[in-house]
Structure 1
Amino acid sequence: MPLRFRKKAADPNRMKITFVLPRLTPRPTGGGKIVYQYANALAEAGHEVEVLHPRTLFLWRFRPTTRTKLRSLAADCAKLAGVGQGREPATVPWMKMHADVKISVVPALYSRYMPDADVVVASLWRTAEYVERLPVSKGEKFYFIQHYETWSGPERRVNQTLRSSLRKIVISSWLGDLVHELAGEAAWQVPNPVDHDEFFVTAPLDARTRTVSMLYSPHTWKGAAEGVAALVQAKAVFPDLRARVFGTSARPALLPDWIDYVQDAPRHVLRESIYNASSIYLCPSWSEGWGLPALEAMACGCAVVTADNGGTRDFVVDGENGFVVPPKAAQPLGDALVALLGDDARRAAFAARSIGLAKQFTLEASVHKLLDALAQRRPVDAS
């Protein structure tokens, strides 16, 4: 059943909330999906919610050469000049949105294009730079931190946003530690939830074959090369091993022919043909803000083999529901796969614990923590 909140007429706690995402994309993004989920839930709870997407964030300064800088600047200016004034209504092509959530595209994140609100929430380092400069009429300023985004911007600029005056909300404990280290302040932690209406067990744990699933991303730090090498290592020990890799790009050339690949898998395919068809989920990323696919796989009954990437620390416990190995190396991942593939009883025990751990991460619990953050209420044990 979908999450339901009771609406109250003239609720004094009702807020007008603006979420600020990067540009609207035709394909799913993990960070965007989480924000849209919260937007839907908050609208269902009776809050007035708008999600803004700028046409440009003026990233031309960060291009590597003078030629690419000029080309990017010209494209940015064209985007800004080629549209009308104000906010234009839009739709999210890959996610069903609550009817009361307003999706808008604006030329840029300038004050004149931003609505007045009670709360405004940045969600990327570059959007945080703009939100910090907004007038107070645009709302209390928050920064929803889903990763340490040095992969998308200069470390100095990213760190400046983490030290900014914005109130910080993080999705994982390691990001909270990072904010405390850089800014000397405590952040609210709102863990990413699993959609338990979409991801659940449909295949018996003890009947699963030697099949490993993995997310592919072209970003080097996502560890695809190490993950594939680990799968090849395990295949040499267990010739019956199958692997099911999924992603949003076309089939990558580095995959051997024996590995299945699914592009743009719908949720039911992800649940039935990938997660529930697997006995182990492999997460080879060097760094993760959270690692939601691993948690979704856990909810579907997978044991986990993961690199120690930060994000999965909050739900993968080494030796209890999976194995955690050092990042940036294929051999430890392969060794862990071989150990777990060769011990079916242990693998099934890990999978059972995964299901229990995943049940702790619900949308309702995360929404309530998010509302506490936006209302600036801290838990009793927060520092």
Structure 2
Amino acid sequence: MNISIIMRFHDDTPSGGRKIIYDYANYLISKGHNVEIVFLADVPYKLRKHNIIKKLVHYIDFFRRFKNQQRVSWFGLHRNVVLKAKYNFNKSRFQNSDVVIALDYGIALHIAESNYNLNKVVYMIQHDEKVYNVEKIVRAAWSLPVQKIVVASWLYNLVTEYDTNVSLVTNYVRTEDFYVSNPISNRKHVVSLINHPNKYKDTKTGLKALDLVHNVFPDLQVLMFGNFQEPSNLPSYVKYISRANQDTLREKVYNQSSVFLFTSILEGWGLVATEAMACGAALVSTKNGGVNDFGIENETALLNNVGDYKELANSIIYMFQNNKERIMLAENGKNLVEKLTFDSSASTFESVLQKVAKKER
């Protein structure tokens, strides 16, 4: 198959959603397919507000960032994956593509309005994208007559309310990259969590919870990581790790943690949560949707109401006070996420693309 993956311009920093698609791109190359990733500077569509200034900004951004789109430094893409940068989607450039994969709602709408053959299009949905734009626009994309792939069971249930042409390809854990290297039973009062400015990640609630935990356990250590600038006024017991690579996350964060704290209000799939679980951290999470496929209450995780920092704090305190329970939850969680294999997900992903490629044109 000739496969074109359409994404927005990138800033060459680690991203869970992009990592998934880069992984699949390498897999598809290994299976003998041709893969190109095309980064777009602008994806206009009718429901988006337009003005001349915004259009000018997109043009300037295209020329300013064009060269940087030709490489991805933080992920080992196969040398045969072709990287391109274009201003927007021009259907004439993709006449030889067997499958075109749209990576978000805006790209899907943009392609649909270009009068491209929608029988060739796969729209990959990794989140309830209303967290990025107004719900009306996102639901219009979900209603498009194209094949859709979703990464989590809760998303499958939601998206099928708008279209039945939906396939579930759950995310996975690379257990060759994320594994236990520090015995679970040896860990101290260490909690890790991700920092993100998006309000739906709700990092502030996590910090409020950890302040309560620190009042009970003064020896608490917190490992916070992220691609963004360190938040101001962090407590002295919080160590911030910026732009951590895979090895640093595994050895210096996850394998040092007794507990991984996951505070999202709404989450597509908790990728960092599964990575931490594979490394032996017990999961304390909100009921954010994105943990439904692996976070089982009192079996692989302690689940709490969204935004309730007192509940989250009490769950962490319970873990620290009941070491056997923590170890049990951590072991169960590790065993469960180890079954979420890359080969299984990648094979299913490829099968969906092959089905689309065989459709009548």
TM-score by length of 1: 0.87
Letter of the aligned partner of 2:212 in structure 1? Q
* Amino acid paired to 1:126: G
Matched ranges for 1:308-347 at <5 A: 308-347=287-326
Matched, 1:112 2:112: no
User: Given the alignment, which residue of 157, 172, 179 partners 2:137?
Assistant: 157
Distance 1:229 1:32, change over 3 A: same
**How far apart are the structure 1 equivalents of 2:292 and 2:255?**
23
Mean Cα displacement is larger for which, 258-267 or 327-336? 327-336
The residue type paired with residue 199 of structure 2 is: T
**What corresponds to 1:140 in structure 2?**
120
Which of the residues 69, 72, 88 maps onto 2:54? Answer: 72
Measured in 1, the distance between the counterparts of 2:248 and 2:84 equals 30
Deviation at residue 90 of structure 1 after TM alignment: 1.3
CA drift of 1:131 comes to 2.5
Q: Are 1:176 and 2:183 counterparts?
A: no
Q: Provide structure 1 residue ranges, at least 5 long, that are not aligned to the other structure.
A: 1-14, 378-383
- Superposition map of 1:90-109 within 5 A: 90-109=70-89
CA distance in 2, matches of 1:365, 1:217: 30
Q: Could you tell me how far 1:38 is from its partner in structure 2?
A: 0.4
Q: In structure 1, the residue corresponding to 2:29 is in which secondary structure?
A: helix
**Count of residue pairs brought into register by the alignment:** 356
Q: Identify if the C-alpha distance between structure 1 residues 198 and 22 changes in structure 2 by more than 3 Å, giving closer, same or farther.
A: same
Match of 2:351 in 1: 372
In the alignment, which residue of structure 2 is the partner of 1:296? 275
Counterpart amino acid of residue 132 in structure 1: A
Give 5+ residue unaligned stretches, structure 2: 357-361
Kept in 2, the 8 Å contact 1:117–1:138? The answer is no
| Aligned-residue offset at 1:231 | 0.7
| TM-score of the pair, normalised by structure 2 | 0.92
1:222 aligns with 2:208: no
1:197 equivalent in structure 2: 176
The letter of the residue matching 1:316 is: G
8 A Cα contact 1:43 1:101, kept in partner: yes
Structure 1 residue 268 corresponds to structure 2 residue 268: no
Moved more, 332-341 or 75-84: 75-84
Local SS of the residue matching 1:49: strand
Residue 29 in structure 1 maps to residue 11 in structure 2:
no
TM-fit CA distance, 1:17: 0.9
In structure 2, how many angstroms separate the alpha carbons of the residues matched to 1:246 and 1:301? Answer: 17
| Distance across 1 between alignment mates of 2:62 and 2:77 | 27
Change in 2 beyond 3 A, CA 1:98/1:80: closer
CA distance in 1, matches of 2:73, 2:46: 27
1:144 is paired with a residue whose SS is strand
How far 1:137 moved relative to its partner?
Answer: 6.0
Q: By how many angstroms is 1:56 displaced?
A: 2.1
RCO (CA 8 Å, sep 6+): is it higher in 1 or 2? 2
- Compute the displacement of 1:139 (Å): 6.4
Q: Could you list the per-position Cα deviations for residues 163-192 of structure 1 after superposition, in whole angstroms to 9, with x for gaps in the alignment?
A: 111111100011001111233x15211111
Distance in 2 of aligned mates of 1:136 and 1:110: 9
Contact 2:119 / 2:146 at 8 angstroms: preserved in 1? no
- Identify if the C-alpha distance between structure 1 residues 312 and 253 changes in structure 2 by more than 3 Å, giving closer, same or farther: same
Alignment partners' CA distance in 2, 1:113 and 1:259 = 50
Q: CA RMSD in A?
A: 2.4
Q: Contact conserved, 2:220 with 2:237, CA < 8 A, in 1?
A: no
Deviation at 1:16, TM superposition (A): 1.1
Q: CA deviation at 1:123?
A: 0.9
Task: Tell me the distance in 1 between the aligned counterparts of 2:234 and 2:61.
Answer: 37
Instruction: Please state whether the residue corresponding to 1:314 is helix, strand or coil.
Output: coil
